[in-house]
Structure 1
């Protein structure tokens, strides 16, 4: 009624709720930019930036009245479809705006910096949760919305850190200021890590894994070759793609050709000598001969993520009857790479720089990942020796 009084009875104007947004409908709205200037009159929709709800009723009415006055004066123009609301503008935190911003971020990243699958796995789930929470009510400012979204994940968890970083990338794309108070909610990645360090296979668990691989009727000799390569070369599962093996003075040598790029740096091709668990033969059960005869599983190597294929195989192997011991559920194929790193440091005594070179990452990454496990034995021995020598 208030809108009708403002129009002084002029008919043909309506305020409607469509989905989660308000719109003004009228045949007196001018043709859109993509229509001919002399297009015949028809009802067109102009969306309001003010979200619906009792708390925003007066603001929505004022915006609709202002729109009507501009149309009558001939000064109203259709907004730029690609423009985003500016800092402090009404409707900036609406689901519709955040969806448009998400689409814009996707266009900027996918194909240039990341692949479509990476977007779907590591960006979209967090941004979709943001849009979902934004639609639950009207949010007075960024901080309230962001706090509500981030509280969906445990403090100091990797998931909350990912959510924080992905949503912040969205704010950066829009040119909006990121609230300083939200930074503390990201948490500390080290605090989220297990106190004892990475979970690696020990030698007994590797022996149990290999025994189950040999007993499996579903896996092929090529599958066993792939698992043995992870064990003795400490490969990332994706590095099975393009892998080459040869013998160097009786010891298997892997030539890794796949490169890896990430925010932490990049790694190029490298040669890695076999470092098998204790009590394994030096030729790693004739690994090079088996590689030449059977190769690697074509389906695994061609998969978008060989690690997913290996993870599925490991899950089935864990359900099999133990040969000697049970395999804990928290073990993953990547745990074999962790075991390789610990063998380099604890059994061979290699320097951090040397170990990092063989594993294809920086010494800083090596220390941050394996420092707790590598330093703990030395620290305990030092304390024990000094206590006994007092």
Structure 2
């Protein structure tokens, strides 16, 4: 099993994904698959794989990823994939929030800033990193090699050069003007001056996965459960669509992904209020 995993790595890394993507989103699942195989106790492939998949919650994203990674390994080996396993993968809908993605509210963003400023462990550089996620809608990894400059109207603009590489392709560099939450000053609390004064924290440039470090900080700050660093990116995307009224294509460009991904991720939150209002009007007109 371990030999097959290494062969699959050689097939995927370089052509379809980077080493970090493999190490973070493929290797942990395949190692668990190999560990399950070493435990024995299962008969045919279907029974063995079912035992492996049930380690993760039904309809969770982790279960789906475990399923897809194992199936890729089976395909690489030329083994037939048991069709009866399809129901174990799930589609994630049962675990999805009916209101869509969990984004920071403006009040939660203010509370986050207050707790960082009051923290004895976090620094002005840490606050700057969180503010960059907030006003530019960055992925945590895009803090790496980030540059900030003054825009044509004087506001801060992020120059994002970090590429996200996966089996679906790579993101391209982009420039993102600051879109702060309601009530923020236009200069985003002197963001550009703070950038020049002390820059981003050292860990944001050194760690392969800054998101894990940000998650640890959120836990130490005792922010509400369910909030993640990506929640600031979600809030940024909703700000573009709901408050600014940008077209999906324009918002997707600023977020650094395709319109299809934007709709799949944020469509429920963007369309929900207008859809409910339209239905209410139609029902009222009918009666």
Residue among 81, 87, 100 paired with 1:178? 81
What is the aligned partner in structure 2 of residue 101 from structure 1?
4
Q: How does 1:1-390 map to 2 (within 5 A)?
A: 98-110=1-13, 113-114=16-17, 118-137=21-40, 139-248=42-151, 249-318=153-222, 327-390=223-286
Specify whether residues 247 and 125 from structure 1 end up closer, same or farther in structure 2 by C-alpha distance, changes over 3 A only. Answer: closer
Deviation, structure 1 residue 155: 2.0
Query: Matched residue pairs, number?
Result: 285
Aligned partners of 2:17 and 2:167 also within 8 Å: no
Distance 1:316 1:164, change over 3 A: same
Structure with greater helix percent:
2
TM-score by length of 1: 0.68
What SS is found at the alignment partner of 1:389? helix
Q: Secondary structure at the match of 1:272?
A: strand
Structure 1 residue 267: deviation in Å? Answer: 1.5
Task: State which structure, 1 or 2, has the greater radius of gyration over its C-alpha atoms.
Answer: 1
Q: Match of 1:253, SS?
A: strand
Runs of 5+ in structure 2 lacking a partner? none
Question: What are the superposed Cα offsets for residues 141-170 of structure 1, whole Å, 9 maximum, x if unpaired?
Answer: 322222222222222111211111111121
Q: Do 2:252 and 2:258's aligned partners in 1 also have CA atoms closer than 8 Å?
A: yes
Q: What is the deviation of 1:385?
A: 2.3
Change (3 A) 1:103 1:256: closer
After TM superposition, the runs of 4+ consecutive aligned structure 1 residues lying more than 6 A away are none
> Does structure 2 retain, via aligned residues, the 8 Å contact 1:266–1:361?
no
Distance 1:285 1:310 in 2: 21
Of 331-340 and 220-229, deviating more is 220-229
Report how far residue 341 of structure 1 moved. 0.5
What is the Cα deviation at residue 265 of structure 1? Answer: 3.3
Structure showing greater relative contact order (alpha-carbon pairs closer than 8 Å, 6 or more residues apart): 2
1:271/1:358 contact within 8 Å kept: yes
TM-score (normalizing by structure 2): 0.91
- Deviation of 1:317 (Å): 1.3
Distance 1:191 1:107 in 2: 35
Distance in 2 of aligned mates of 1:185 and 1:146: 10
Query: 1:235-269 CA deviation, whole Å, 9 max, x = no partner?
Result: 11111112121222122211111122223332211
8 A Cα contact 1:222 1:295, kept in partner:
yes
- In the TM superposition, residue 183 of structure 1 has moved relative to its aligned partner by 2.5
CA distance in 1, matches of 2:240, 2:23: 36
| Whole-angstrom CA distance in 2 between matches of 1:107 and 1:263 | 14
Mapped partners of 1:362, 1:160: distance in 2? 25
Q: Is the 8 A contact 1:267 1:361 kept in 2?
A: yes
Q: Deviations over 1:165-196 (max 9, x none)?
A: 11112112211121222223211134432221
Secondary structure at the residue paired with 1:254? strand
